[in-house]
Structure 1
Amino acid sequence: MSAIYFLIVVFLLCLAVFDLFVGVSNDAVNFLQSAVGARVAKYRTILLIASLGVIVGAAMSSGMMDVARHGMMVPRNFSFDEVMTLFLAVMVTDIIILDVFNTLGMPTSTTVSLVFGLLGGAFALATVKVLADDSLDYGMLLNSGKALSVIIAIFVSVAVAFFFGSIVMWLSRLMFTFNYTRTARYGIGIFGGVAFTALSYFIFLQGIVKSPYVSTAVSGWIAAHTSLLLILVFVISACVMQLLYFAKVNVFKFIVLMGTFGLAMAFAGNDLVNFIGVPLAGLDSYLDYAAHAHGTVPDAYMMTSLMGSAQTPPVYLLMAGGIMILAMATSKKARNVIKTSVDLSRQDEGDEMFGSSRAARSIVRFCQSGGAAVRTYVPVSVKRWVGSRFNKSEVILQDEHAAFDLVRASVNLVLASMLIIIGTNYKLPLSTTYVTFMVAMGTSLADKAWSRESAVFRVTGVISVIGGWFITAGVAFISCSLICLAMYYGGIWVKLAMIALVIVLLVRSNRNFNKKASEVDKSAATFRLMMRTRDPQLVWELLYKQVSRTQSFMTRFALHEYNLIMDALAAENAKVLRKAEKELQTELQLLKNFRRREMLGLKRCPMDVAIERNTWFHLGANSNQQFVYSLRRMLEPIKEHVENNFHPLPPLYIEEFRPVRQTINDLMKQSGALIETGRYQNYREILAEADNCKDLLSVIRKGHIDRIQKSQHDEQLKVGLLYLNILQESQEFLSVMRHQLRAAKKFMEN
């Protein structure tokens, strides 16, 4: 029997390593976003500084392990078997949630998954025990006070981070303006001194006092002289910062790098429990049972040992920190995961990752109305002065790829790390993703990065991310409760089945990620370059290539979907038709995204070029979408016809349509080749041939209508009308091709 528990422990430890990699790749790397977004240094340099912070934070995170041991439950009233069942259920739930949410493209949080998984599993087991034993109650089994404080801390941190991010950023911008090189001499010493002192207090003073590796005498002396130490640190750091400024050193870069170290340390100290806390608690439980059970069955041996604080060996913590660093350095996903936060907080207009929602529109409208009402009571002179401090045209970016400036990056890092380290010192497992993301959103709002044109999209993004976290909480609680009960009543076989399920999900998730990574939007790099470059002529050259790429791809895509639909109709394959329906829906969303990207690029082109070409640009973009609309009008009745198992197309119809379909294929391929190469020598011949094909379709359509009218078989009416729709939409398909080719030629020709 002990062999199964040994297997569970080994499995938990393997999942700990996996969680470390996935955690860093998915959300833990958020502590790099500000330094990377501001382009404060090379990625390798930023990674090195963050790695040092991870090592220090990992070494000081031992106290946080108590959350997994007795933060949600009272383990002395649970048996060894129940505790191991709970820990396995939590880790299985965590993997399943991660896989499902990644598959659906929804944001999630490892902190929320862990805390609510532990709470859900402990609640399920507590319910079983209370129903079986009248002498027990929930207060004896669940650590309700600690659980409530942890839950409140997690969700309150969202509002606190956003509020303080907005206030601190607004005051900082009021002090330094967007042209911080001109105004920094007045307050850079105080700003840097406050930042360094705040980080020093929570990183070193509080961290050292509560560290298990520092003697009582040293920690006691620091605790007794904290105020004096803070004053000294502030005075010295403020003077040093001011001197560095006079020495022509960019102090904001130093603050950003220091904040990166602090946030990385805060992450390792706080989130490490999410990744290895449960597996190490399972290991401690197994070692305690093996050493002290003396023949007691697992159901009868109570886990009183988990009531004590974790004595995690430093080597485990340092190994975990090393795995985190390895994940940051090698994971391709880690380099891409910061894109959401950076895009939602960037200073300029650009590609919006989220659409519009009713809630976001209501919030934006309410805030605009409230802001307008408040501004009526503000003196004109004050509004004029504040407006002069928020002149975004003076913004100083490190280079053309930077999303925001160093002032905002400094506030993001220092404030986020302070909030997280405060939670760590009070042993509250805050979500680094929550805090970092919401601070970034608050600072971007205060920095006027959300214009009226982009506010609704970015508010939708924030609501989507926060909503994902709340959904995670409910799903984790319910899922872990059910999985825990299934393991409890199903015994060893259900546990083994769950282990096998997790292995399958991990393999599938890795394959899906690799497949998704191979389909990355190649146009994103071109678009980002268009948004960053200040040379209008270069923007036009990039836009020219981008529009050509979009339209030639759309021609190939439309032809592929056209043939796919026609082949599926002939084969009566409803599955392929449903796939085509999803592909068309996805492509329509992408086309809207591409159109907005290209429109933003057109606005940055030379004025004379933009005025001359904008009509043809919009006609081409409309044609791209009309391809999809035409195909959807063709697909809808075909899909209904096939799914209802109506009569297939008669051979007469198929043979009659075959040469027309071949002509459409030839014309679409020729049109796509012209657009892709930019050579329009036989442009008029293609248009003329398309007109001839349309005339032929008109003749066939008229003959088919007469055929329907004269038909004596009513059961053939449905398939006759279906064929008529195919003829009509094929004719429209050719019209769209002609419009697109003409618009492409006019837009791209010199």
Structure 2
Amino acid sequence: MDNIYFLMIIALAILAIADLVVGVSNDAVNFLNSALGSKAISFRTIMIVASLGIACGAVFSSGLMEVARKGIFVPEQFMFSEIMIIFMAVMITDILLLDFFNTLGMPTSTTVSIVFELLGAAVAMALIKIGIAGGSFSEVVDYINTSKATEIILGILLSVVVAFSVGALVQYVSRLLLSFNFEKKSKWAGAVFGGFALAAITYFIFIKGLKGTDYYVIIKPMIEGKTALIIAVSFIIWTLLSYVVVSIFKKNIYKLIIGVGTFALALAFAGNDLVNFIGVPIAAYQSYEAWSVSGVPATEFAMGVLGNKVPTPTSFLLIAGLIMVLTLWFSSKAKKVVKTSIDLSSQSDTKERFDPNYLSRNLVRMTMMIAKYTATVIPNSIQEKIDNRFTKPVIKLPKGEEHELPAFDLVRAAVNLMVASVLISIATSMKLPLSTTYVTFMVAMGTSLADRAWGSESAVYRVAGVLNVIGGWFFTAFCAFVAAGTVAYLIHLGGSAMIAVLLFLAILLLVRNYISHNKKSREVKAEDSLNKAESQSIHGVIEESADNISKALKRVSKINQITIHGLIDQDLDALKKAKKTVVKLEHEIDELQNDIFYFIKELDDSYLGASKFYIDVIGSIQDVAQSSSLIANISHKHVNNNHKALKKKQGEELLFISDKLANLCNEIRKIFDARSFNEIVPSIIEEKQDLLTYVQESIQKQVERTRYEESSPKNTTLYFKILLETKDLIKANMNILNLYFEENKNISVRKEITD
């Protein structure tokens, strides 16, 4: 039986490696979003700097490992066998929970997950012990370190408000002083800002941050009681160095701040968050060492040893740091999570991932009312000066040239890193496992708000996104507590067999999520994805949009066939697939519509006719997609509600129509692929008319069936809706072809007049 605990240690070591991978994939957003969003330095340089920061931070994180041993529960209240159940439940739950959020691309908190998992598993085990002993529920508080747990949880929640508020305040003041034309400011302005930022970062990370580690004893005599002096001297030195960098070496001081800040934040992340990934396995290993030499049965060995300060082996920290660095370089999920944060804080228009909701709309409306009232109080002269500081520079480019602007400028990126580093380091020095995700994300959102990145065009989407992320954090806490408690109870009931089952399920889910993520990543660049128009002439627009038409018709034809076969066969999975596919097509069309504004703005005056044609093309594609969407939705609803299946005659008619429609779409696609718009092929007109006639005849047949045979009103309603939408779908296809034919004819006429 004793061998089971050795096997559990091995399993926990493997789980620790997996947890490092999924954890870093989620937390990379903490230290990469500012550098990547500002495009201050190259991606390779950013990754090298962040990797060095992680490696150093991992070595400095030993002091925080105590949180996993005694920060949440009272170790002496549990026996070794019970502690191992708690630790195993925590690690299994943690991996699955973090990987779930990574797959969604949502930044969540590894700190919150580990804290509430430890709390949930410990409470579950305490309740089991109390139940066996016949005690009362109130005795749970004897097993939980309520004061420390409350301190940690309140600190995490408070960090959300503090990070957002401080980030907004510092960014607002920085923008007032530097404006968006900060590069044209006097050299001393950049030097002072650099001195302040670099002094704050270096003091709190390299000095204050070390206070939470065993290395602090070495430098303690030199800095104890000298905080003000060290900060003042550091500020003067860094200001002078910044001035030298700006004036003599002609380097951008903001890029230096971002580079140092990225290193510092990566160091703070590793120093603060490594406990979330390996703290539990290391605590389990140290528990196993203490128990194995005791000679006491596992069910009788009290774990008071965990209450003592035990240093973490440096070799473990170095291995963990190496795994974190490798994950940072190779994880595609890390890039997905980072993108969410950058998009929400972008200064320019971007594809909004989140839909507005009731709360976001009302928050934005209330904020606008407050801003409107404030504007009446502040004198106009002062308001104008403030507005001038927030006026963004306009970058004019020659027609045909593109410039990918950063999500935000160097000042905001520097403020993000400076504020987040300071807040995280303060928490680290107090040995509080503060959520670095909460801090960095909320700082970024606060600076975005203060920098007026959330305008009337994007505010409801961005606020909805922030609310979704924050809601996900509370969901994390609830799920972590319940899931870890449930897993601990299952392991208590099933023992080693249950552990094996749970580990097997965890592996299956991880593999499934990995395959699903790769599949979705490939779909983003799918062969039949629609592309926005980039040409500025009518000829170019015809060429580019013709490809979109061909792709759209191919997808619509496939969707329609899947829908009809799924409806006839009562195949709910097929109908779900059709519904999901048509939603993706509609989203792509919506993106094309959202791009119309920029397309028109980029056109030369001589090609303005291309804008009307492009708008008509997108509208026609949308008509086709809407008809296909309605057919897929009503078919899915019919089968999902378990209504009567179609009758044999109805199925045969729909299959015939579906096949004929697929042939028509294929013939039209050939014309678009060949760009042969000179004349509409008579056979296509004839095929279209025959198909419309057949659809009309099917409608008439259904009318007769309804009068004498049909007994299902749901069935009849569905059938009529499908036939009517099919008519619209056929007409929309022909409208597209006619649109290109007419435009091609107009081009020929204009060419003849010109010649």
Report the TM-score when normalising by structure 1. 0.91
The whole-number CA distance in structure 2 between the counterparts of 1:256 and 1:526 is 37
The equivalent of 2:437 in structure 1 is: 433
Answer whether contact 2:102 2:333 (CA < 8 A) is retained: no
2:457 alignment partner in structure 1: 453
Alignment match, 2:725: 729
Q: Could you say which residue in structure 1 is the equivalent of 2:178?
A: 176
2:471 matches 1:467? yes
2:201 alignment partner, one of 199, 215, 218 = 199
Give the Cα–Cα distance (whole angstroms) in 2 for the partners of residues 635 and 404 of structure 1.
41
Distance 1:84 1:566 in 2: 55
* CA pair 238-457 structure 1, distance change in 2 beyond 3 A: same
1:739 is aligned, of 727, 730, 735, to 735
Question: 2:725, 2:117 → 1: CA distance?
Answer: 53
Residues 1:221 and 2:222 are matched in the alignment:
yes
The 5 Å alignment of 1:364-403 reads: 364-394=364-394, 400-403=404-407
Work out whether 1:74 is the aligned partner of 2:70: no
Give how far 1:134 is off: 4.7
Letter in 1 for 2:726: S
Moved more, 695-704 or 502-511: 695-704
| Structure 2: unaligned runs, 5 residues or longer | 748-755
User: Which letter does structure 2 place at the counterpart of 1:20?
Assistant: L
- In the aligned structure 2, how far is the partner of 1:546 from the partner of 1:146? 62
1:269-324 C-alpha deviation (Å, 9 max, x unpaired):
011111111111111111111122x1x22111011111022310111111111111
Alpha-carbon shift at residue 603 of structure 1 (Å): 4.1
**For each residue in 1:651-670, what CA deviation from the matched residue of structure 2 results, as whole angstroms up to 9, or x when unmatched?**
5x566666644432222123
Q: 1:699 to 1:372 in 2, by over 3 A?
A: closer
Following TM superposition, by how much is the alpha carbon of 1:642 offset from its aligned partner in structure 2, in angstroms?
5.1
Deviation at 1:672, TM superposition (A): 3.0
Asked if 1 retains the 8 angstrom alpha-carbon contact of 2:94 and 2:480, the reply is yes
Query: Are the equivalent residues in 2 in contact too, given 1:667–1:686 (CA < 8 A)?
Result: no
Q: Which residue of 2 aligns with 1:212?
A: 214
Q: In the alignment, residue 646 of structure 1 is paired with which amino acid? A: K
2:609 paired with 1:612: yes
CA contact (8 A) 1:603 1:610 kept: no
In 2, distance between residues paired with 1:443 and 1:703?
64
Most deviating of 85-94 and 388-397: 388-397
Range moving further from structure 2, 355-364 or 632-641 = 632-641
Q: Give 1:625's aligned residue.
A: 622
1:151–1:366 CA distance, 2 compared to 1 (3 A): same
Whether 2:243 is the aligned partner of 1:239: answer no
Please list every run of 5 or more consecutive structure 1 residues that lacks an aligned counterpart in the other structure.
531-535
Give the Cα–Cα distance (whole angstroms) in 2 for the partners of residues 188 and 686 of structure 1: 72
Let me know the Cα RMSD of the aligned residues: 3.1
Of the candidates 259, 273, 276, which is equivalent to residue 275 of structure 2?
Answer: 273
CA contact (8 A) 2:120 2:481 kept: yes
**8 A Cα contact 2:530 2:589, kept in partner:** no
| 1:187 aligned partner | 189
Q: In 1, Cα distance between the equivalents of 2:26 and 2:543?
A: 33
- Residue identity in the other structure for 2:507: I
TM-score w.r.t. length of structure 2: 0.90
CA contact (8 A) 1:523 1:546 kept: no
Structure 1 stretch displaced more, 555-564 or 672-681: 672-681
Q: Is the 8 A contact 2:538 2:609 kept in 1?
A: no
Of 254-263 and 338-347, the range deviating more from structure 2: 338-347
Does residue 1:353 correspond to 2:353, yes or no? yes
1:539 and 1:347 mapped to 2: Cα distance?
30
**Cα 1:321–1:190 shift into 2, 3 Å:** same
Q: How does 1:511-526 map to 2 (within 5 A)?
A: 511-521=515-525
Matching residue's letter, 2:427? G
Residue deviations 1:157-210 (CA, integer Å, cap 9, x gap):
111111111111111111111111111524212111111111121122223455
Amino acid at match of 1:269: G
Q: Distance in 2 between matches of 1:406 and 1:495?
A: 50
Percentage of matched positions with identical amino acids: 36
Contact 2:54 2:270 in 1 (8 A): yes
Indicate how the Cα distance of structure 1 residues 444 and 706 shifts in structure 2: closer, same or farther if over 3 A, else same.
Answer: closer
Question: CA 1:522–1:242 in structure 2 vs 1: closer, same or farther (change >3 Å)?
Answer: farther
1:621 and 1:62 map into 2 onto residues whose CA distance is 59
Counterpart of 2:19 in structure 1 is 19
Q: 1:591-625: per-residue Cα shift (whole Å, max 9, x none)? A: 334432x2243243226378534444343333333
Q: Which residue of 1 aligns with 2:750?
A: none
Deviations 1:409-460 (A, max 9, x none): 1111111111111111111112222111111111111111111011111111
The Cα shift of 1:145 comes to 1.0
8 Å contact from structure 2 (residues 163, 423) kept in 1: yes
The question of whether the paired residues in 2 share the 8 Å contact of 1:120 and 1:480 is answered with yes
Q: Which amino acid aligns with 1:464?
A: N
Q: 1:165 to 1:556 in 2, by over 3 A?
A: same
Q: How does 1:66-145 map to 2 (within 5 A)?
A: 66-101=66-101, 107-131=107-131, 132=133, 134=135, 137-145=139-147
Task: Specify the alignment match of 1:696 in structure 2.
Answer: 693
Residues 336-379 of structure 1: CA distance to partner in whole angstroms, max 9, x if unpaired? 33111111111211211111111110000000000000110111
* Structure-to-structure mapping, 1:518-597, within 5 angstroms: 518-521=522-525, 547-596=545-594
**How far off its partner does 1:706 sit?**
6.3
The 2-side partners of 1:519 and 1:319 are apart by 35
Q: CA deviation at 1:389?
A: 1.1
CA drift of 1:133 comes to: 6.1
After superposition, give the CA deviation of every residue in 1:126-157 in whole Å (9 maximum; x if it has no partner).
23334426599344311111111111111111
Give the Cα separation in 2 of the matches to 1:206 and 1:618.
Answer: 59
Counterpart residue number, 1:533: none
Please list, as runs of the form range in 1=range in 2, the aligned pairs for 1:142-181 lying within 5 A after superposition: 142-181=144-183
Which residue in the other structure is 2:258 paired with?
Answer: 256
Counterpart amino acid of residue 592 in structure 1:
D
| C-alpha spacing 1:609/1:308, structure 2 compared with 1 (3 Å) | farther
| Among candidates 485, 496, 506, match of residue 481 of structure 1 | 485
One-letter amino acid of the counterpart of residue 665, structure 1: A
Given that 1:345 and 1:449 are in contact with CA atoms closer than 8 Å, whether structure 2 keeps it comes out as yes
CA shift in 2, pair 1:328/1:600, >3 Å: farther
